[in-house]
Structure 1
């Protein structure tokens, strides 16, 4: 049985009231025994381990893990590899546009999570080297419940939705309660079509300041 981090006990309890989620957890655990999945099972819910529920300010919604074990560690867009993934490279370019002097020394985004940024993929697992292999196995129901819980139990979240896949989750959030930022995905295929038209990370911090919340230090040291 999987458990979210202690600060997320209320969400954990909410999820486990759904019998289908319990069956799904068992299914995922069995798949880990049978196949090579990414991320490692110990990192499955890293987004919740590193982002404290009481400090949640920003949600950045990704699609699925990177297909290589060297990259994926449970945080959307974050990588443990020395080689930067292409989407993260474009994210860093966007940050540099707003903060030219910022240090971005590696590719692990845990520092953001610890400041209240939930880096959440909507599909939390895939088979190694097989993109899209875990669509329609049950993560959609899990994500649906998580996002509806976050909408109902928080106010003034900043929700970042990049790309058409993430944007379909916009309907889960009450725009009278939360601030939605949506646009093109940072992947090389779509970034040139509009991702760089917005200073995403400056916009996030400007909104946090309006809410009298501490801005995010986007540096990676």
Structure 2
């Protein structure tokens, strides 16, 4: 059976951030689905909860697992949620995991600073969208530039979600992950803070650092990220498993 891909977006954005990946996978006949988490995209009116987020991921994974082995991929907040989900005491039905731009424990001074910064942006005229658009225009190629905001920005969910992320126990989850695991970071990603810790806690994992790339690695270098998804699919289709 062919590997199935489930894609989980980061904070503020939505399933639309994966447009380049969905096109790539569709062209190669790889079944893929990108979900919207509560409080984001098509579910903007819902309240974000960790339980709702995990239910969304689990529902998509179990549906896809009926058709083939599942490669789960998440970016930023989505990556952290996927790590926690994959490292549950009762392993979920996934065959591989791609965790992008998320090798940082969401606690302490770093998280506090990020929340203060986000609140400051939120108080700007038009909630900082003028600056956001200028930053995207300066860093992303034209064909992916609109993808992050196409499903709307979850401004009202962001601070709540950041606070809830601090309750995750990623350090305990990582050693329990027993499927092929790829960490993907941009060279200049601010969330590389605990990169060494993550790879030490998951010694069977592989780390790929994409040069000259920031936090938005899947949109900034879509060809590289897509190639990695293709590699993951090929490895899982070939029956690759993580060491026990």
Structure 2 length as normaliser, TM-score?
0.37
Q: TM-score with structure 1 length normalisation?
A: 0.40
